Structure 1
Amino acid sequence: MEALCVSCDGPLKIPGDSYQGEIVSCPGCATELEIQSVDPLELALAPEPEEDWGE
Protein backbone atom coordinates (compact mmCIF):
# COMPACT_ATOMS: atom_id res chain seq x y z
CA MET A 1 0.00 0.00 0.00
CA GLU A 2 1.14 3.52 -0.62
CA ALA A 3 0.24 6.75 1.14
CA LEU A 4 1.48 10.29 1.63
CA CYS A 5 2.96 11.54 4.89
CA VAL A 6 0.57 13.92 6.64
CA SER A 7 3.55 16.03 7.72
CA CYS A 8 5.76 16.38 4.63
CA ASP A 9 3.59 14.87 1.84
CA GLY A 10 6.40 12.42 1.08
CA PRO A 11 5.56 8.95 -0.24
CA LEU A 12 5.25 6.06 2.22
CA LYS A 13 5.15 2.34 1.52
CA ILE A 14 2.92 0.64 4.07
CA PRO A 15 3.28 -3.17 4.34
CA GLY A 16 0.20 -5.14 3.32
CA ASP A 17 -0.01 -6.83 6.72
CA SER A 18 -0.24 -3.51 8.62
CA TYR A 19 -3.07 -3.04 11.09
CA GLN A 20 -5.11 -0.24 12.65
CA GLY A 21 -3.21 1.42 15.50
CA GLU A 22 0.24 0.47 14.14
CA ILE A 23 2.90 3.20 14.25
CA VAL A 24 5.01 3.77 11.12
CA SER A 25 7.77 6.29 10.45
CA CYS A 26 8.11 8.51 7.41
CA PRO A 27 11.47 7.88 5.71
CA GLY A 28 11.59 11.50 4.51
CA CYS A 29 10.97 13.47 7.71
CA ALA A 30 11.04 10.75 10.43
CA THR A 31 7.58 11.74 11.69
CA GLU A 32 5.79 8.92 13.48
CA LEU A 33 2.36 8.20 12.04
CA GLU A 34 -0.47 6.03 13.32
CA ILE A 35 -2.57 3.96 10.95
CA GLN A 36 -6.13 5.08 11.68
CA SER A 37 -7.74 2.78 9.12
CA VAL A 38 -6.47 0.20 6.65
CA ASP A 39 -9.45 0.15 4.26
CA PRO A 40 -9.34 2.88 3.12
CA LEU A 41 -5.80 3.64 4.27
CA GLU A 42 -5.81 6.65 6.59
CA LEU A 43 -2.84 8.03 8.54
CA ALA A 44 -2.60 10.60 11.34
CA LEU A 45 0.20 11.97 13.50
CA ALA A 46 1.01 9.44 16.22
CA PRO A 47 0.14 10.51 19.75
CA GLU A 48 3.06 11.63 21.89
CA PRO A 49 3.93 9.22 24.71
CA GLU A 50 2.77 10.55 28.05
CA GLU A 51 5.10 11.13 30.98
CA ASP A 52 4.91 8.38 33.63
CA TRP A 53 6.49 10.23 36.57
CA GLY A 54 6.74 6.92 38.43
CA GLU A 55 3.04 6.70 39.27
Structure 2
Amino acid sequence: MDSQCVSCSGELQIAEDSYEGEIVSCPGCAAELEIYSTNPLKLVIAPEPEEDWGE
Protein backbone atom coordinates (compact mmCIF):
# COMPACT_ATOMS: atom_id res chain seq x y z
CA MET A 1 0.00 0.00 0.00
CA ASP A 2 1.27 3.46 -0.82
CA SER A 3 0.94 6.27 1.69
CA GLN A 4 2.55 9.53 2.76
CA CYS A 5 4.38 10.32 5.99
CA VAL A 6 2.30 12.63 8.18
CA SER A 7 5.50 14.30 9.38
CA CYS A 8 7.47 15.00 6.16
CA SER A 9 4.98 14.02 3.40
CA GLY A 10 7.52 11.52 2.04
CA GLU A 11 6.43 8.38 0.19
CA LEU A 12 5.87 5.26 2.30
CA GLN A 13 5.36 1.66 1.30
CA ILE A 14 3.15 -0.16 3.81
CA ALA A 15 2.99 -3.96 3.64
CA GLU A 16 -0.38 -5.46 2.63
CA ASP A 17 -0.43 -7.60 5.80
CA SER A 18 0.02 -4.61 8.14
CA TYR A 19 -2.42 -4.26 11.02
CA GLU A 20 -3.95 -1.51 13.14
CA GLY A 21 -1.63 -0.48 15.96
CA GLU A 22 1.54 -1.50 14.09
CA ILE A 23 4.44 0.98 14.25
CA VAL A 24 6.27 1.79 11.02
CA SER A 25 9.20 4.15 10.41
CA CYS A 26 9.48 6.73 7.67
CA PRO A 27 12.67 6.14 5.64
CA GLY A 28 12.89 9.88 4.88
CA CYS A 29 12.65 11.50 8.32
CA ALA A 30 12.74 8.46 10.66
CA ALA A 31 9.42 9.44 12.28
CA GLU A 32 7.66 6.56 14.00
CA LEU A 33 4.11 6.26 12.72
CA GLU A 34 1.25 4.14 14.00
CA ILE A 35 -1.22 2.52 11.62
CA TYR A 36 -4.46 3.93 12.99
CA SER A 37 -6.71 2.33 10.38
CA THR A 38 -6.13 -0.11 7.53
CA ASN A 39 -9.35 0.51 5.57
CA PRO A 40 -8.96 3.27 4.64
CA LEU A 41 -5.25 3.48 5.48
CA LYS A 42 -4.62 6.21 8.05
CA LEU A 43 -1.31 6.93 9.78
CA VAL A 44 -0.70 9.04 12.90
CA ILE A 45 2.45 10.02 14.78
CA ALA A 46 3.15 7.18 17.22
CA PRO A 47 2.82 8.11 20.89
CA GLU A 48 6.05 8.30 22.87
CA PRO A 49 6.49 5.33 25.20
CA GLU A 50 6.04 6.32 28.81
CA GLU A 51 8.86 5.64 31.24
CA ASP A 52 8.04 3.37 34.16
CA TRP A 53 11.00 4.50 36.31
CA GLY A 54 11.67 0.94 37.39
CA GLU A 55 8.16 0.29 38.69
Asked if these proteins are the same fold (TM beyond 0.5), I'd say yes
Counterpart of 2:42 in structure 1 is: 42
Shift of 1:10: 0.1
Question: For the aligned residues, what is the CA RMSD?
Answer: 0.3
Residue in structure 1 matched with residue 31 of structure 2 by the alignment? 31
Instruction: Give the paired residue count.
Output: 55
Instruction: Tell me the percent identity.
Output: 71
> Following TM superposition, where does structure 1 have runs of at least 4 consecutive aligned residues deviating by more than 3 angstroms?
none
How far apart are the structure 2 equivalents of 1:40 and 1:8? 20
CA distance in 1, matches of 2:11, 2:23: 16
- DSSP 3-state at the match of 2:48: coil
Task: Tell me which residue corresponds to 2:16.
Answer: 16
Shift of 1:54: 0.9
Q: Separation in 1 of the partners of 2:26 and 2:54?
A: 31
CA distance in 1 between partners of 2:41 and 2:32 (Å): 16
Matched residues in 2 for 1:33 and 1:2: separation? 14
2:35 aligns to what SS in structure 1? strand
TM-score if structure 1 supplies the norm length?
Answer: 0.98
Structure 2 unaligned regions, length at least 5? none
Q: Say which SS state the counterpart of residue 12 (structure 2) adopts.
A: strand
